[in-house]
A and B are shown apart, each in its own frame.
Chain A
């Protein structure tokens, strides 16, 4: 009741977004579909009461402009973020994570316009670190990349709804994905930081242990990697490499990054060998570096590949910072996940992962 009264008396003067009216006989969820505000799933109608409640999740002013959202570079206020967060199903306490994710996505090296417009599968993948993951109840365990957790499911969705609704990015228009991927609806999860020996991705990217961060990656997924028999760190790394070299195409090289979502059972093999993030990422980079002669264009009638002039070279599959390991997953299963990156990054500096502290 208090919220309804507040909405009645405050909403009209406090909120700046224009009102979209509908009659008693209209179903508000259907109105949202008809207006093109949905990614194809139902959205929560952004009533004044809900938007006001969402704004309580941040101390920032509703009229502050966070940035310009591609593709049409429309200025986006905190209030518009809150409206789209309501629609995605977020709780107010997710707002700081969503705002950090949006700011990360708007960094030029994230190339959000390109990620939206590309014919490739990619979308923004959000990895959350630090104590906020516990505060808002994110999942880094069983089914971390799947359904069932509200924060995991709605934060990524809200970011994509902002691109759709504020930025105007829609499939078939500026979004030219040949096939797309379910992860373009939203893919967000927390890293498992329960093992003090493990260096979380946030720390590897320059933040203090205990800081809450978002790391954004241009990717999609998830691809399944299965190895139930390797028992040494060296063997498991070579095994991982047999999967990683196939990303996009076995013979494509030097064009991308990948996030390896390392499950607890696979991690245990590395931990027992005394390996941490640096050793694993280095081993995977080396094991995915191949003699050019094995991946020449035209052999076996396959057009893809490197030119014959590179036959004598050792050619890396990834950039030297291109394999990023993140820990997540349930306790049982010698499976890990691979989130392939956007293949546009032929020059390693032109698009990169972006990490921001959540404040």
Chain B
């Protein structure tokens, strides 16, 4: 019996072992929290978020409109850092 030899190829990937970060646990309640409504830059965001905002406010939950200027580009780290300082949780809505 011949010993099995090893062959190899070269890795086409970025060779980054993905280390999944644990998600933050959702808060037990939204009372006293500020919910960010994140506008990704689509045309009908207002229609959608007006409804969401109304529902949240009926429940006494504070909201704040945040977002990025266009859906064609990703949010900048600075923008995300600013938003995370201003709100406790975020809702991102797709609204065409």
Q: Do A and B come from the same complex?
A: yes
Contact surface of A with B, Cβ cutoff 8 Å: 15, 17-26, 28, 31-32, 37, 45-48, 51, 69-70, 72, 74-76, 79-80, 83-84, 87, 108, 111, 113-114, 118-119, 161, 165-168, 344-347, 350-351
B13 to chain A minimum Cβ distance, whole angstroms, is: 5
Given contacts A17-B15, A75-B14, A83-B12, contact A22 B74 (CB under 8 A): no
Task: Report A208 CB to chain B, min CB distance, Å.
Answer: 31
Please give the number of chain B residues whose Cβ is less than 8 angstroms from any Cβ of chain A in the complex: 20
Stretch at the interface among B19-27, B31-39, B65-73: B65-73
Question: Given A114-B72, A350-B70, A350-B72: A46 and B7 within 8 A (CB)?
Answer: no
- Per CB-CB distance, the 6 closest pairs between chain A and chain B, nearest first, are A74-B14, A19-B8, A17-B10, A165-B12, A344-B72, A114-B72
The distance in angstroms between the C-alpha atoms of A32 and B6, with both chains bound, is 16
B10 and A23: CB pair below 8 A? no
Instruction: Tell me which of B7, B9, B70 has the highest count of chain A C-beta atoms within 10 A of its own C-beta.
Output: B9
> Which of B5, B11, B72 is within 8 Å of A345, CB to CB?
B72
Contacts across chains A and B counted by CB atoms under 8 Å? 98
Complex CA distance for A20 and B7, rounded to whole angstroms: 8
Contact of A72 among B11, B16, B73, B94 (CB under 8 A): B16
Q: Are A46 and B73 touching (Cβ within 8 A)?
A: no
Q: Across the interface, do A28 and B9 meet the contact criterion of CB distance under 8 Å?
A: yes
**Binary CB contact string for chain B from 58 to 83 against chain A (1 if under 8 A, 0 otherwise):** 00000000000011111000000000
In the complex, chain A residues whose CB is within 8 Å of the CB of B74? 70, 113-114
- Give Cα A18 to B15, complex, Å: 8
Q: Is the CB of A344 within 8 A of B71?
A: yes
Partner of A114, one of B10, B71, B94: B71
CA distance A17 to B94 in the complex (A): 39
| A111-B73, A113-B74, A346-B43 given; A167·B7 CB < 8 A | no
Is there a chain A Cβ closer than 8 Å to B85's Cβ?
Answer: no
Q: Are A23 and B11 in contact (CB under 8 A)?
A: no
Report whether A19 and B72 are in contact in the complex, using a CB–CB cutoff of 8 Å.
no
Nearest neighbor of A88 in chain B, beta-carbon distance: B12
Question: Which residue in A21, A119, A345 is a CB contact (below 8 Å) of B6?
Answer: A21
B1 within 8 A of A: no
Beyond the given pairs A114-B71, A165-B13, 13 more chain A to chain B contacts, judged by CB atoms under 8 angstroms and listed by A's residue number, are: A19-B11, A20-B9, A20-B10, A21-B6, A32-B9, A46-B9, A48-B10, A70-B74, A76-B14, A80-B14, A84-B12, A346-B43, A347-B70
